[in-house]
Amino acid sequence: MAIGTATKIFAPLDDIIEPKWWTGVAAISPELFTIDGNQFRVHGKPLEPSAELAQCMQKTFDDIGLVHVINTGLTDMQAMRLIATQVLKNERQYEGGANPRKTLQPNVYEVGAPLEASLHYHHEMAYIDSSTTMVSFMCNKIPAEGGYTFVSDNVAATESILATEFGQKLKKLGICYHRDLTDRLAFQNRVEYGVYNHWQLSMLTDNQDEAIAEARSRGLTAEWGNDRKLKTRYTISAFEYFPHLDRNLLYSSMADDGAWFDSWPLVQHVAPEDRPLKLTFGDLSEMTRAEKQLFIDVYDQHGIPIPWKVGDVALICNYRFAHGRPGIQLKEGEDRELGVLIGESFNRLQTFDDKW
């Protein structure tokens, strides 16, 4: 199909699975996780690290798994990073097998997705053996209206999904992540129609042998398909054991299915079977539309908005919360820029039979 011509949507509009994000009432009161930076600022100066601030942030994170620091007076992301690292102490760099993001500043990454696209609730790096314990966002630019991030109470979402037949099926069968990564060379001097991520960027190499080796080192099965597409598969539990609460929690979402691209420019008009991502049960059986809708709903039912202002810093436990955001339409002269820090890595344990 030629770029610039009329495009066809391959599924009826009422088949598009779009998150609703929340019920209109925050699943957890913001008072429990919001820290007013004014309480820790000295003589009205921009917020700086301190023992008192660190103690307050750490206790809030330990108790809730979510921290939102407001009224910081900060406009520089490295200064915001110093606040975030009061809790996020062991920063992680993006590495092969993940979807790397552009670097804004040292150890600070961009969100890495088109603003127009809705980013379904997800747990960071759930699709490789080495995941991350937490993620931090720092607000550098924000439009006058909207641009919120949403988080979902994953403890409540776990209980909700396990109460369904679909949740029990996920528990029994696990899931398989299918990713088809395009070849960057095939898109030289071409519009990147249908592209999510090139294997050269994901695996941090231009060498095919090294790319396969990198994928396999991350626990993925990998092979070459047509047009030098790198086809990876990863089968694992849909849940993950969380030591802090000593229980198994939901650790997967529809963000890793083709539905992720329903609002993604240059990909949304690609037929579902040709999209770069797909999610199935662990035995490779397909999920029904009703099951996919339920997977969306359990997170939406427990959603919480994070209303950004410049200088805000948030820390999100990757076990206890999923995160995402609606698509954003900027007005002229507006921008939205969040810096991202990735927390300490951990190797997936999957689940324990006596921790449900």
* Residue 352 is assigned to a structural domain of this protein: no
* Residue 14 is assigned to a structural domain of this protein: no
**Is 50 exceeded by the pLDDT of residue 108?**
no
* Residue 101 is assigned to a structural domain of this protein: yes
The residue-averaged pLDDT of 144-166 equals 96
- 241-265 burial, b for 16+ CB within 10 Å, e for fewer? bbeeeebbbbbbbbbbbbbbbbbbe
* Residue 4 is assigned to a structural domain of this protein: no
* Residue 353 is assigned to a structural domain of this protein: no
pTM higher than 0.85, yes or no? yes
Provide the residue range defining the domain that includes 307.
20-347
Residue range 79-95, pLDDT digits in tens: 999 999 999 988 766 55
**Is 80 exceeded by the pLDDT of residue 4?**
no
Q: Which DSSP state fits 78? A: H
The domain total for the chain is 1
* Residue 342 is assigned to a structural domain of this protein: yes
CATH code, 92: 3.60.130.10
* Residue 264 is assigned to a structural domain of this protein: yes
CB of 332 within 8 A of CB of 126? no
* Residue 9 is assigned to a structural domain of this protein: no
